[in-house]
Chain A
Amino acid sequence: MAEVITLEYTVPGDDFTRAGEASADMKSRLKKLGLPADVVRRAAIALYEGEINLAIHAHGGCICVTVSEGVIKMVLADKGPGIENIALAMSEGYSTAPDEVRSLGFGAGMGLPNMKKYSDVFDIESTVGVGTTIQMEVNIS
Protein backbone atom coordinates (compact mmCIF):
# COMPACT_ATOMS: atom_id res chain seq x y z
CA MET A 1 0.00 0.00 0.00
CA ALA A 2 1.89 3.03 -1.23
CA GLU A 3 -0.68 5.75 -0.75
CA VAL A 4 -1.66 7.20 2.61
CA ILE A 5 -5.32 7.06 3.58
CA THR A 6 -6.76 9.72 5.84
CA LEU A 7 -10.09 9.46 7.67
CA GLU A 8 -11.62 12.30 9.66
CA TYR A 9 -14.60 12.20 12.00
CA THR A 10 -16.46 14.57 14.28
CA VAL A 11 -17.86 12.94 17.42
CA PRO A 12 -20.97 14.63 18.83
CA GLY A 13 -20.95 15.23 22.57
CA ASP A 14 -24.64 15.05 23.27
CA ASP A 15 -25.63 11.85 21.54
CA PHE A 16 -24.47 8.68 23.26
CA THR A 17 -26.38 6.47 20.83
CA ARG A 18 -24.21 7.70 17.95
CA ALA A 19 -20.90 7.16 19.74
CA GLY A 20 -19.08 4.37 17.95
CA GLU A 21 -20.07 5.36 14.42
CA ALA A 22 -16.58 6.60 13.64
CA SER A 23 -14.91 3.47 14.96
CA ALA A 24 -17.33 1.23 13.08
CA ASP A 25 -16.66 3.16 9.86
CA MET A 26 -12.90 2.96 10.35
CA LYS A 27 -13.18 -0.73 11.08
CA SER A 28 -15.03 -1.55 7.88
CA ARG A 29 -12.62 0.56 5.83
CA LEU A 30 -9.58 -1.14 7.33
CA LYS A 31 -11.18 -4.53 6.65
CA LYS A 32 -11.75 -3.55 3.02
CA LEU A 33 -8.08 -2.66 2.72
CA GLY A 34 -7.41 -6.29 3.55
CA LEU A 35 -5.48 -5.65 6.76
CA PRO A 36 -5.10 -8.62 9.16
CA ALA A 37 -8.21 -9.22 11.32
CA ASP A 38 -6.41 -8.91 14.66
CA VAL A 39 -4.77 -5.63 13.63
CA VAL A 40 -8.15 -4.26 12.56
CA ARG A 41 -9.75 -5.40 15.78
CA ARG A 42 -7.08 -3.89 18.03
CA ALA A 43 -7.27 -0.54 16.24
CA ALA A 44 -11.08 -0.57 16.29
CA ILE A 45 -11.36 -1.36 20.00
CA ALA A 46 -8.79 1.28 20.93
CA LEU A 47 -10.57 3.90 18.83
CA TYR A 48 -13.99 2.89 20.11
CA GLU A 49 -12.92 3.34 23.74
CA GLY A 50 -11.53 6.75 22.84
CA GLU A 51 -14.66 7.70 20.94
CA ILE A 52 -16.89 6.75 23.89
CA ASN A 53 -14.67 8.87 26.15
CA LEU A 54 -15.07 11.84 23.80
CA ALA A 55 -18.84 11.47 24.00
CA ILE A 56 -19.18 10.94 27.75
CA HIS A 57 -16.30 12.90 29.25
CA ALA A 58 -15.41 15.64 26.76
CA HIS A 59 -18.63 16.95 25.10
CA GLY A 60 -17.41 15.46 21.82
CA GLY A 61 -14.27 15.97 19.78
CA CYS A 62 -12.56 14.97 16.59
CA ILE A 63 -10.77 11.90 15.31
CA CYS A 64 -8.15 11.70 12.61
CA VAL A 65 -6.89 8.36 11.32
CA THR A 66 -4.08 7.84 8.86
CA VAL A 67 -3.21 4.49 7.38
CA SER A 68 0.17 4.27 5.72
CA GLU A 69 2.78 1.64 5.00
CA GLY A 70 3.02 -0.47 8.13
CA VAL A 71 1.07 1.62 10.61
CA ILE A 72 -2.39 2.92 11.58
CA LYS A 73 -2.19 6.25 13.40
CA MET A 74 -5.19 7.53 15.34
CA VAL A 75 -5.45 10.96 16.94
CA LEU A 76 -8.35 11.96 19.20
CA ALA A 77 -8.60 15.59 20.23
CA ASP A 78 -11.15 17.38 22.37
CA LYS A 79 -11.74 20.71 24.05
CA GLY A 80 -13.32 19.10 27.08
CA PRO A 81 -12.52 19.55 30.78
CA GLY A 82 -9.11 17.88 30.54
CA ILE A 83 -7.66 15.35 32.98
CA GLU A 84 -6.02 16.55 36.18
CA ASN A 85 -4.11 13.41 37.12
CA ILE A 86 -3.24 11.37 34.03
CA ALA A 87 -1.50 8.57 35.95
CA LEU A 88 -4.63 8.08 38.03
CA ALA A 89 -6.91 8.19 34.99
CA MET A 90 -4.71 5.56 33.32
CA SER A 91 -5.06 3.11 36.20
CA GLU A 92 -7.52 0.23 35.82
CA GLY A 93 -10.80 0.83 37.57
CA TYR A 94 -10.50 4.61 37.97
CA SER A 95 -13.59 6.35 36.65
CA THR A 96 -15.45 9.59 37.27
CA ALA A 97 -18.37 8.43 35.12
CA PRO A 98 -21.75 9.22 36.73
CA ASP A 99 -24.33 6.49 37.48
CA GLU A 100 -26.19 7.43 34.32
CA VAL A 101 -23.17 6.37 32.23
CA ARG A 102 -22.78 3.17 34.29
CA SER A 103 -26.37 2.25 33.56
CA LEU A 104 -25.45 2.45 29.87
CA GLY A 105 -22.77 -0.20 30.36
CA PHE A 106 -19.71 2.03 30.62
CA GLY A 107 -17.69 3.58 33.41
CA ALA A 108 -15.63 0.62 34.60
CA GLY A 109 -12.48 2.69 34.33
CA MET A 110 -11.07 0.32 31.74
CA GLY A 111 -11.08 2.53 28.63
CA LEU A 112 -7.72 4.27 28.84
CA PRO A 113 -5.81 1.17 30.09
CA ASN A 114 -7.48 -0.76 27.29
CA MET A 115 -6.43 1.78 24.65
CA LYS A 116 -2.87 1.50 25.88
CA LYS A 117 -3.02 -2.29 25.88
CA TYR A 118 -4.38 -2.61 22.34
CA SER A 119 -2.05 -0.05 20.74
CA ASP A 120 1.68 -0.27 20.05
CA VAL A 121 2.29 3.42 20.74
CA PHE A 122 0.11 5.40 23.17
CA ASP A 123 0.53 9.03 24.12
CA ILE A 124 -1.82 11.26 26.08
CA GLU A 125 -1.59 14.99 26.73
CA SER A 126 -4.14 16.88 28.73
CA THR A 127 -4.57 20.32 30.26
CA VAL A 128 -7.38 21.07 32.68
CA GLY A 129 -9.80 23.55 31.15
CA VAL A 130 -8.22 23.23 27.70
CA GLY A 131 -8.68 19.66 26.52
CA THR A 132 -7.12 16.30 25.83
CA THR A 133 -5.23 14.82 22.89
CA ILE A 134 -4.50 11.13 22.55
CA GLN A 135 -2.27 9.64 19.87
CA MET A 136 -2.19 5.93 19.21
CA GLU A 137 -0.43 3.72 16.71
CA VAL A 138 -1.16 0.15 15.77
CA ASN A 139 1.49 -1.61 13.71
CA ILE A 140 0.37 -3.54 10.67
CA SER A 141 2.16 -6.88 10.35
Chain B
Amino acid sequence: MKIKEIAEILQATPVTPNVDFEREVHTACGSDMMSDVLAYVKNQSVLITGLNNPQVVRTADMMDMVCIVFVRGKKPDEQILTLAQERHIAVFTSELTMFTACGKLYEQGLRGGESHG
Protein backbone atom coordinates (compact mmCIF):
# COMPACT_ATOMS: atom_id res chain seq x y z
CA MET B 1 0.00 0.00 0.00
CA LYS B 2 1.21 3.50 -0.77
CA ILE B 3 1.36 6.30 1.81
CA LYS B 4 -1.12 8.10 -0.43
CA GLU B 5 -3.68 5.32 0.09
CA ILE B 6 -3.19 5.35 3.85
CA ALA B 7 -3.98 9.06 3.84
CA GLU B 8 -7.11 8.48 1.76
CA ILE B 9 -8.39 5.53 3.78
CA LEU B 10 -7.94 7.37 7.09
CA GLN B 11 -9.06 10.75 5.70
CA ALA B 12 -5.79 11.90 7.18
CA THR B 13 -4.10 15.28 6.78
CA PRO B 14 -0.33 15.47 6.19
CA VAL B 15 1.30 17.79 8.73
CA THR B 16 4.94 17.47 7.64
CA PRO B 17 6.19 18.89 4.32
CA ASN B 18 7.64 16.90 1.40
CA VAL B 19 5.76 13.68 2.10
CA ASP B 20 6.65 10.91 -0.34
CA PHE B 21 3.08 9.81 -1.11
CA GLU B 22 4.27 7.13 -3.54
CA ARG B 23 6.33 5.31 -0.93
CA GLU B 24 5.27 1.69 -0.45
CA VAL B 25 4.59 0.38 3.05
CA HIS B 26 3.51 -3.14 3.90
CA THR B 27 3.03 -3.34 7.63
CA ALA B 28 1.80 -1.22 10.52
CA CYS B 29 1.49 -1.19 14.25
CA GLY B 30 -1.10 0.54 16.46
CA SER B 31 -0.30 1.38 20.07
CA ASP B 32 -0.36 4.10 22.70
CA MET B 33 2.37 2.30 24.67
CA MET B 34 5.82 3.06 23.25
CA SER B 35 7.31 0.37 25.50
CA ASP B 36 5.22 -2.22 23.70
CA VAL B 37 6.12 -0.89 20.28
CA LEU B 38 9.79 -1.24 21.19
CA ALA B 39 9.28 -4.71 22.60
CA TYR B 40 7.00 -6.42 20.14
CA VAL B 41 7.34 -4.75 16.81
CA LYS B 42 9.68 -5.70 14.03
CA ASN B 43 9.93 -4.32 10.52
CA GLN B 44 6.71 -2.33 10.65
CA SER B 45 6.81 0.91 8.73
CA VAL B 46 3.72 2.77 9.96
CA LEU B 47 2.93 3.70 13.57
CA ILE B 48 -0.68 4.51 14.44
CA THR B 49 -1.01 6.13 17.83
CA GLY B 50 -3.14 8.35 20.04
CA LEU B 51 -0.16 9.29 22.19
CA ASN B 52 1.05 12.80 21.53
CA ASN B 53 4.62 13.51 22.65
CA PRO B 54 8.15 13.61 21.15
CA GLN B 55 8.87 10.04 22.29
CA VAL B 56 6.45 8.82 19.62
CA VAL B 57 8.83 10.15 16.97
CA ARG B 58 11.88 8.87 18.86
CA THR B 59 10.33 5.42 19.04
CA ALA B 60 9.36 5.38 15.37
CA ASP B 61 12.87 6.54 14.49
CA MET B 62 14.52 3.79 16.56
CA MET B 63 12.34 1.23 14.78
CA ASP B 64 13.15 2.65 11.30
CA MET B 65 9.48 3.49 10.72
CA VAL B 66 8.67 5.93 7.92
CA CYS B 67 5.18 7.17 8.79
CA ILE B 68 3.22 8.14 11.91
CA VAL B 69 -0.54 8.64 12.01
CA PHE B 70 -1.95 10.42 15.05
CA VAL B 71 -5.54 9.28 15.58
CA ARG B 72 -8.45 10.66 17.66
CA GLY B 73 -7.72 14.12 16.29
CA LYS B 74 -4.44 14.48 18.20
CA LYS B 75 -2.47 17.45 16.91
CA PRO B 76 1.30 17.10 17.33
CA ASP B 77 3.08 20.34 18.25
CA GLU B 78 5.88 22.14 16.41
CA GLN B 79 8.62 20.37 18.38
CA ILE B 80 7.28 16.95 17.45
CA LEU B 81 6.90 17.89 13.79
CA THR B 82 10.41 19.34 13.57
CA LEU B 83 11.82 16.17 15.05
CA ALA B 84 9.88 14.04 12.57
CA GLN B 85 11.08 16.17 9.68
CA GLU B 86 14.69 15.82 10.81
CA ARG B 87 14.27 12.05 10.89
CA HIS B 88 12.45 11.97 7.51
CA ILE B 89 9.26 10.56 8.99
CA ALA B 90 5.94 11.53 7.37
CA VAL B 91 3.30 12.61 9.89
CA PHE B 92 -0.49 12.57 9.44
CA THR B 93 -3.44 13.35 11.67
CA SER B 94 -6.80 11.60 11.50
CA GLU B 95 -10.05 12.14 13.37
CA LEU B 96 -10.72 8.38 13.44
CA THR B 97 -10.33 6.32 16.61
CA MET B 98 -7.50 3.80 16.92
CA PHE B 99 -9.85 0.84 16.41
CA THR B 100 -11.47 2.26 13.32
CA ALA B 101 -8.18 3.43 11.80
CA CYS B 102 -6.52 0.03 12.24
CA GLY B 103 -9.66 -1.79 11.04
CA LYS B 104 -9.91 0.25 7.86
CA LEU B 105 -6.26 -0.25 6.98
CA TYR B 106 -6.46 -3.97 7.67
CA GLU B 107 -9.57 -4.24 5.54
CA GLN B 108 -7.66 -2.68 2.66
CA GLY B 109 -4.80 -5.13 2.96
CA LEU B 110 -2.27 -3.58 5.33
CA ARG B 111 -0.99 -6.15 7.82
CA GLY B 112 0.59 -6.23 11.27
CA GLY B 113 3.62 -8.06 9.97
CA GLU B 114 6.14 -10.07 11.81
CA SER B 115 6.42 -9.47 15.54
CA HIS B 116 8.61 -10.96 18.16
CA GLY B 117 8.39 -10.91 21.90
CB contact list, A47-105 vs B, under 8 A: 48-49, 52, 104-105
Inter-chain contact B62/A105, CB cutoff 8 Å: no
Given A17-B79, A45-B38, A49-B38: A105 and B61 within 8 A (CB)?
A: no
**Among B35, B61, B62, which residue has its beta carbon within 8 angstroms of that of A106?**
B35
Inter-chain contact B34/A23, CB cutoff 8 Å: no
Residue of B nearest to A37 (CB): B64
Interface of B is mostly: helix
B27-63 CB mask vs A (1 if < 8 Å, else 0) is 0000011111011000000000101011110110111
Which residues of chain A are within 8 angstroms of B35 by Cβ–Cβ distance?
105-111, 114
CB contact list, B62-117 vs A, under 8 A: 62-64, 79, 87
Inter-chain contact A20/B55, CB cutoff 8 Å: yes
Given A41-B62, A108-B39, A114-B39: A17 and B32 within 8 A (CB)?
A: no
Inter-chain contact A41/B63, CB cutoff 8 Å: yes
A108 to B31, CA, bound (A): 12
How many A residues face the partner with a CB closer than 8 A? 24
Which residues of chain A are within 8 angstroms of B33 by Cβ–Cβ distance?
105-106, 108
Which residues of chain B are within 8 angstroms of A23 by Cβ–Cβ distance?
58, 62
Inter-chain contact A45/B62, CB cutoff 8 Å: yes
Which residues of chain B are within 8 angstroms of A41 by Cβ–Cβ distance?
62-64
**Among B38, B59, B63, which residue has its beta carbon within 8 angstroms of that of A110?**
B38
Which residues of chain A are within 8 angstroms of B59 by Cβ–Cβ distance?
48, 105
Residues of B within 8 A of A (CB): 32-36, 38-39, 49, 51, 53-56, 58-59, 61-64, 79, 87
List 8 A–B pairs whose Cβ atoms lie within 8 Å, in order of A's numbering: A17-B53, A19-B55, A20-B58, A20-B62, A27-B61, A105-B33, A105-B56, A110-B35
**Contacts A20-B54, A108-B39 known; 8 new A-B pairs at CB < 8 A:** A16-B53, A17-B53, A19-B58, A27-B62, A45-B62, A105-B51, A105-B56, A111-B35
